[in-house]
Amino acid sequence: MDITKIGKFIGALHRRFQIAMNHELTLPEINASNANFLLFINEHDGVTAKQITTELAINKGLVSRELTRLEHASYITRTPDDSDRRITWIRITPKGKAACKTIRQLKQSLWDQVLGDVPANDVELVYTQLEAWSEQAKKFDQTK
């Protein structure tokens, strides 16, 4: 087995899902990238842009642009911290929560198509392993 191909497969899966999401999404101002941001914000309401950047391993310029797009479309709000104006809290709006429901349904549908008849135990094993590898890879963040 050529272990270096794991990255190729993960990258190809990600890109194909991004393309499918962009094709299927009909929500105004939502694309595959900021859909993931919105889901993250929904799960971590009261988050900062730096936390999004760190947790999703996305550059801060892209995060800033997409957050501006989401804010202008009323999916999120950004509020400066009262005690430290350098910090801005990002919160999801009711419109954002409704969008997350649609995004999750679409993602579920796409995964159902890809996974087909794969047993739930196998899916859980892959999920657990990918989660562990993702945590291990966070050490690369410190080498910047």
Annotate 27-45 with DSSP letters as a single string: STT--HHHHHHHHHHHHTS
- Sequence-ordered list of residues with C-beta below 8 angstroms from that of 39, at least 6 positions apart, any chain: 100, 103, 104
d(CA 34, CA 81): 23
Q: Is the confidence at residue 124, as pLDDT, over 70? A: yes
- 9, 31, 83, 115 from 132: Cα distances, Å: 17, 28, 36, 21
Percent of the chain whose pLDDT exceeds 90? 82
Q: What is the mean pLDDT of the chain?
A: 93
Contact status, residue 47 vs residue 92, Cβ threshold 8 Å: no
CB 96 within 8 A of CB 76: yes
- Which CATH fold topology does 22-139 show? Arc Repressor Mutant, subunit A (1.10.10)
Residue 85 has pLDDT above 60, yes or no: yes
pLDDT band at 3 (very low <50, low <70, confident <90, very high): confident
Contact indicator for 48, 89 with CB cutoff of 8 Å: yes
Predicted local confidence at residue 117, as pLDDT:
92
143 compared with 69, residue with greater pLDDT: 69
Q: Does the pLDDT value for residue 143 go beyond 70?
A: no
Average pLDDT of span 30-46: 93
